[in-house]
Structure formats: C-alpha cells, structure tokens
Structure 1
Amino acid sequence: MAEYGRLPERDRAVAVDIRNPAFEGYGLRDLSGHRKKVNAVAWNCDGRRLASGAADRSIRVWTVEPHCPVAKSERADAEYSSHSDAVTYIEWRPDHPDVLASCSNSKTDTNIRFHDARTNKQTAAVPLSNEKNQVLSWSLDGVSLVVSCSSDELVFIDTRKMRKQRQWGLSGHTKLSEVRWGPTQGHLTMALDDGTVRIAPLAKLDSPIWRLNSHASHTTCLAYSRDYKYLASGGSDALVSLWEMEEMICLRTYSRPDQSVRTLSFSHDANWLAYCSEDGYGTIDVVSTQTGDLASTLNLKSYCETVAWCPSAPVLAFAGDETKEGYGAVSIWAPPKATS
C-alpha cells in the first residue's frame, strides 16, 4: 500500500473512522487560500477542476489530481473577486468543463455571475431583484439556469442571451428550500418545508407529477446521481431518504444524524452517498446505496457547509468554517497514488 506524506503540523480538521475495506488507504489533504469560511465546493463535469466559494467574497478554482500524495502542496489556478459579498453557491455548467455560475445570498449582491476558467475572467453578470439568491441549478443541456430566491420564487436565466426568461412563484404558505433540474430536461425537482419533494414539468410547475413524502418535517436538500437513477433528500427530521427513480419508490432511509441534514452528494458511480448533519460541529457519513451500510464517518472540528463527490473518481471534497485556524480550508478525501 502506498504511504502518505507527512500531514501538516496543525490540528487536523477531521478524524476519519474507516469502517469498510473499500476505503482502506484513503487520506486527506487541505487546499488553503480562502481567508474566511468556505460556503460551497463544486467539481466541473470532467472532474479535473474544483471550485470553492467563500465568505471572503472570492471564488478559487483548483486543478486537482485526486490521487496525489497528501503532502503535495496545492495552489489555486485562479481567483475571482467579482462578488461584493460572500459567495454562497457555485455550480459548473454540466456540459462544459470551463463555465461556472455563482451567487451571493445577499440583498446587496444580487447578480448571478458567470466565469470562464479558460480566460479566468467574469464573462457575464445577470442582475436579479433585491431578494437573496440561494440555490443555482443548470438545465441538463446547459442552456438555462434556475435560481431559487428567498421569496420562494424561481427565476430562469437564458445563458445564451444572459437575461431572465421567466419567473415563477410558489403558491400558498409552503416554503421552498432547494431546487434541482431533473430527472429530465423538462422537469424540476423541488424540496419543500412540508417534508415533500415535488417533481413537476417546466410548463406546469404548479401541477407536480410526483409528490414524494420524504420527511416528517422540512426537506432541506436534494441530490441526483449522475445517471439520474437515484434521488436523495435530506431533512430537518435527521433522515436521508434514497429514492429509485424508475419505479419511484423509497429504497431506504438513513437515520444516523442527530440533527438536520445540511448537504449530500452521490459518488460518480452512485455506489456511495455522502451527507453532512449538524450534530456536534459536523459529521459526514458515507453510506452504501446498495446495502445501506455505513462505510465511513468523518468527525469534523468545524461546521461543514458542503460536500461534493468528484464525477470521475471516488474522491470527496468538503468545506466549512475554519475560523479558529484563521482561514477557510477545502478538504479532499482521496486515495493515495498507486506505486509502480
């Protein structure tokens, strides 16, 4: 088995409890550079670049070799400082490895910003209303972007003309917490505070085709597997529900967290699901989608805001609040490089 280099001489941000031989030999390394809490991480579609957005108003783009030794120093290839407030959400275009969209959950910075990693520049900024922008999701063909706002409205952006297409508001007293494009080009999936997940056609968002009763209380987050075979939802009831999309049935639930589930992500082959809860400072569990077994636990010393599996390798990125260390760190949980 390959050996890792020496870890940094500081208190590590995470302790890993390896419980499954499938993860034997995995290690950790940090990507340092942000000066404040990291709110979002996201891989591009080919898994070669990792972007991070933070409270220091910057976006950093890293070219990451997932199988490098832990001791290898990392440096951001680019830093974008176009936002005037904290960067809270980032999303790469699903069909283009160089195009990135971002937003700030701030009434003073309401532009949806687009960057191109080839030129390391902002390419467009689409102004929205004075509502806070919370979640972004690209259409499967990369032509449109949907933005979830704090007013429980969805704004659709045409990324060819870089302007708003239309706006839709949720009726009644139900609140919208997250939206994901899918499972097809013509559908949106919405997480609501009544514990349901609704999947509706774009033409009739008020008339969902499926209404999944996923949670006893607020549905907080959503994730699709890359092939859209599975849908996972997290809730404030400390449950994660795993749905099989072809039959539209709930395969199983995971209930280890003691607090609300904050974020979740599928591995590239959909065999593993990682999710983070708010118990203690934060705990990331990695579970099998096939057996339901808990494979590994990462006990964090700071709150985890976001987790993201690489789309081309069994590598997990996560980040959160590292204020005690005086900076925001992005962590990579990755296997060692095989020795020849």
Structure 2
Amino acid sequence: MTYWNNFDVDAAKLKEYFHSHKTVKEFQAHSSKVHSVGWSCDGRRLASCSFDKSVATFTLDKDRLFKENTYKGHNGSVDQLCWHKSNPDLLSTASGDKSVKIWDVRHQKCSNTILTKGENINITWSPDGNTIAVGNKEDLITFIDVRTLLPFNEVQFNFEVNEMTWNNSSDLFFLTNGLGYVYVLSFPDLNQRHIVKAHPGTCICIEFAPSGRYFAVGSADASVSLWDLKNLACIQTYNRLDWPVRAISFSHDGKLLASGSEDLYVDIADVTTGEKITDIPIEAATFTVAWHPKEYLLAFACDDKDQFDRKRDSGNLKLFGISSD
C-alpha cells in the first residue's frame, strides 16, 4: 500500500518496547472528574481541566508529573482545553460558564477572557495560532481572532456537532456530527467543501496525524477510521473496542493510535496495519487521551472513583509508557 512509504514501522519492535514500558503512574489533579488532558507543544507541561471548575498544569521530569499550578476563574465545569500549536506558554479552555479563557502558564495567570453565547463543550486552536474555535451545547461554533480577542464569525448548525479541528495548513476546518458525517469547510470563508459519510454511527472525535496527511475519526459504532486527506478516502479501520470511541490520539511519529472508550482498556494500534501493539488495562471509562509530542508517553484520565469514597470522583491523571525496570 503506497500510503505507508514514509512510515517504516516495525510492529515487533514497538511491541517489545511496550512490553518493558507498560507501567502506569497516577497523579492527583482535581477534586472531581477530569474532562480533558493535553501536552504543550514542547512536551514540558501537561494540562488538565475538570468538572470542579479548575485547570491544572504539571511539569514533566523524566517519568513523573509535578503539579505546577491550579488555575481558578471559570464559574462552571471546564469541559475541554487546547494548547497553542507553537507557543508552549499559552493554553485555552472552554467552559459551561459561557466563556473561553486564555492562560499564560509562564506568568501563571489568565491573560484573557472571551465571553460566548452558550455553554461551551469543545475547543480547538488553529495550527497557525490565529484562531480559536469553540462549540457549545446548542451546536453553535464561534470563531475567535486571537489577535483582537474578538469573535469574528459564528455558525449555527442544525445537527449535533461534536469535535472539530483544522488541517495543518489552517485552510480547512473539519467537524464531526451525530449523523456519522465529517463536514469539511474552507477557512476562513467557511464554505462547505465536502461531506464525508465516515461511520454508520455518531462521529465523536477527530484528530490529525502529525504529518497532516491523515486524520482519524472515532465513532459511537465502537470503531475508528483513518482517512487520507488528499483523496478523503478511508485507508484503515480499527475495530477492537466494544463501546463508543470517545477519544483518540496519534503518537509523535504517527506510528501509533491510542483510542479510549467505556471498554476497560485503552487500545494502542499500529496505524499502518491496525494491529494491536499493546493495551492499557483500566477500571473505568476513558474520555481523554493524549500522546506526548516527543516521546512514547500517553496521558489519560478515567471516570474513576475515590478508593476511600466510591461516590466521589478521583480526579486523577494517569501516565503510561514508563519503564518497568
């Protein structure tokens, strides 16, 4: 298959690596459920956000996370976060309090707050750094110019809008919907370019590979599909999970794809063949996963309960890929 000429993947070596790097470490982050995790572009920091209205940042030292700061300022659940694609000090968050906040982690403060029209549930930052898109519960997407800190466009959809993202050149905007489609819009004019019937069930999450040549879509039909951007052709599927796929992430080299769901493991697949490289046994549903931008370290969070109080969320982060030696 010509798609994989540049990958040079050795599945056996990856399996061997994770046989000795299968340890998971857990770190206290929040007092309630963790909704989203993400690495800064340089990999020095991991951020998380939570139902407890807070945002936390951690610094990475070898195989340990050290809490750097907890940010408070949102008045509602913080549902999703995203980092600037090239500035490792800027982080944005979307909250049910009808606001977007931009945090300057170097100075440990909120640098800007942008008010929006609804309860926000997802957010993405364009690769060129100029635009933030935020979606709310009413399927309204608001586009914010980061240079002026003002919304410059809004699009109201008449169907369920889930995750959204840009391609690497920031001239195409992608969103997944509840009818199993991926919509492709030109940017910034937001004209409809393509509608791709990707899955028979709801399309939940979407992510581009680091190369920008491929993107993956996770669905309520418990599968993940891989698409070639140039031809909008499906070139691979991953079908080991039994529950809706809620979160996906490509490794830094594009060789691995992690998928999280309500299954009691996180699946890690060989992108080229779909073969299982390893999995991570867990005890609760997983709704957020994020590979480190330079290493085979996977951050994720589960819907865990406190070990001493089963009615209370644990609020913990997990880090996988640590040597068992």
What's the TM-score, normalizing by structure 1?
0.85
Residue 67 of structure 2 aligns to a residue whose secondary structure is: coil
* 1:4-23 correspondence to structure 2 within 5 Å: 20-23=15-18
Query: Residue 174 of structure 2 is aligned with which of 183, 189, 203?
Result: 189
Question: What is residue 45 of structure 2 aligned with on the other side?
Answer: 49
Alpha-carbon RMSD:
1.8
Give how far 1:246 is off.
3.1
* 1:147-166 correspondence to structure 2 within 5 Å: 147-166=134-153
Residues 142, 151 of structure 2: 8 Å contact kept = yes
Question: Distance in 1 between the 2:253 and 2:266 partners?
Answer: 19
Per-residue CA deviations over 1:126-183 (Å, capped at 9, x if unaligned) read 0111x2211111111111101112221210111122111111122xx43211211224
Residues 276, 283 of structure 1: 8 Å contact kept = yes
User: Which residue identity is paired with 1:123?
Assistant: S
Per-residue CA deviations over 1:103-132 (Å, capped at 9, x if unaligned) read 12x2xx111011111110011100111x22
Question: What is residue 57 of structure 2 aligned with on the other side?
Answer: 61
Question: What is residue 296 of structure 1 aligned with on the other side?
Answer: 278
Question: Distance in 2 between the 1:175 and 1:184 partners?
Answer: 26
Give how far 1:332 is off.
0.4
Find out whether 1:134 has 2:129 as its counterpart.
Answer: no
* 1:147-296 correspondence to structure 2 within 5 Å: 147-170=134-157, 173-208=158-193, 210-279=194-263, 282-296=264-278
Question: What is residue 8 of structure 1 aligned with on the other side?
Answer: none
Residue 306 of structure 2 aligns to a residue whose secondary structure is: helix
Tell me the matched-pair count: 306
* 1:18-37 correspondence to structure 2 within 5 Å: 20-26=15-21, 27-37=23-33
Larger mean CA deviation between 217-226 and 329-338 belongs to: 329-338
Find out whether 1:95 has 2:77 as its counterpart.
Answer: no
User: Which residue identity is paired with 1:23?
Assistant: F
Give how far 1:64 is off.
0.8
Per-residue CA deviations over 1:260-313 (Å, capped at 9, x if unaligned) read 11110000000000011223xx43100001221011122211221200001111
Find out whether 1:111 has 2:99 as its counterpart.
Answer: yes
Residues 36, 321 of structure 1: 8 Å contact kept = no
User: Which residue identity is paired with 2:167?
Assistant: G
User: Which residue identity is paired with 1:25?
Assistant: S
Residues 60, 66 of structure 2: 8 Å contact kept = no
User: Which residue identity is paired with 2:240?
Assistant: R
Question: Distance in 1 between the 2:293 and 2:261 partners?
Answer: 22
Residues 137, 147 of structure 1: 8 Å contact kept = yes
Question: Distance in 2 between the 1:75 and 1:197 partners?
Answer: 38
Residues 196, 211 of structure 1: 8 Å contact kept = yes
Say if 1:337 and 1:122 are closer, same or farther in 2 by CA, change over 3 A.
farther
Question: Distance in 1 between the 2:169 and 2:184 partners?
Answer: 10
Question: Distance in 1 between the 2:152 and 2:109 partners?
Answer: 24
Question: Distance in 1 between the 2:86 and 2:172 partners?
Answer: 18
User: Which residue identity is paired with 2:163?
Assistant: E
User: Which residue identity is paired with 1:177?
Assistant: N
Identity %: 28
Per-residue CA deviations over 1:29-57 (Å, capped at 9, x if unaligned) read 11213111111100011111000111221
RCO (CA 8 Å, sep 6+): is it higher in 1 or 2?
A: 1
User: Which residue identity is paired with 2:39?
Assistant: W
User: Which residue identity is paired with 1:331?
Assistant: K
What's the TM-score, normalizing by structure 2?
0.89
Q: What are structure 1's unaligned runs of at least 5 residues? A: 1-18
Find out whether 1:146 has 2:156 as its counterpart.
Answer: no
Question: Distance in 1 between the 2:111 and 2:281 partners?
Answer: 39
